[in-house]
Amino acid sequence: MTIELGASVQFTDSAAAGQRPLFTGTPAQILESMPRYQEVGVQDFRVDFPSPSIDGLRQAMAHFATEMQAAAGEGVTASVSGAGPGTATVPGRPP
C-alpha cells in the first residue's frame, strides 16, 4: 500500500510566515515541508494545478517543474501520472 497526500499548488513570491496550507509558499518552503509528511508515512505527493484552460494547465505544470527542480537541485524528479487531469505525482525526497 502506498500512502499519498495531495493538494493544490500555490506559489508565493516571498516566504510565507507561520502556518500555511500544504504546497503553498516558495518552492524552497514547499520542499522543506515535505519531510514532515514523510515522517508520518507519506510516500508520494500528488499536486493539483487548478486552471480554467489547457494552456493554463500546461503553464502551471511547466512552472512547477522548473521551480521545484531549481529549488531541489539534483536527485528530485516530478512525473505526471494517471492520477487525473491536471495532476502530477512527486515521489518523496530521498532521506
pLDDT, tens digit, 9 for 90 and up, residues 6-52: 888 888 888 777 788 888 888 888 888 888 888 999 888 888 887 88
Domain count across the chain: 1
**What's the confidence (pLDDT) of residue 59?**
84
Other Cβ atoms closer than 10 A to 8: 15
| Residue numbers of the domain that contains 76 | 4-91
C-alpha cell at 19: 502556518
Residue 78 binned pLDDT confidence (cut-offs 50, 70, 90): low
Please name which of 29, 40, 35, 43 lies closest in space to residue 90, comparing C-alpha atoms. 43
Contact between 22 and 5 under an 8 Å Cβ cutoff? The reply is yes
Q: Cα 37 to the chain's mean position, in Å?
A: 12
**What's the confidence (pLDDT) of residue 95?**
43
**What's the confidence (pLDDT) of residue 23?**
84
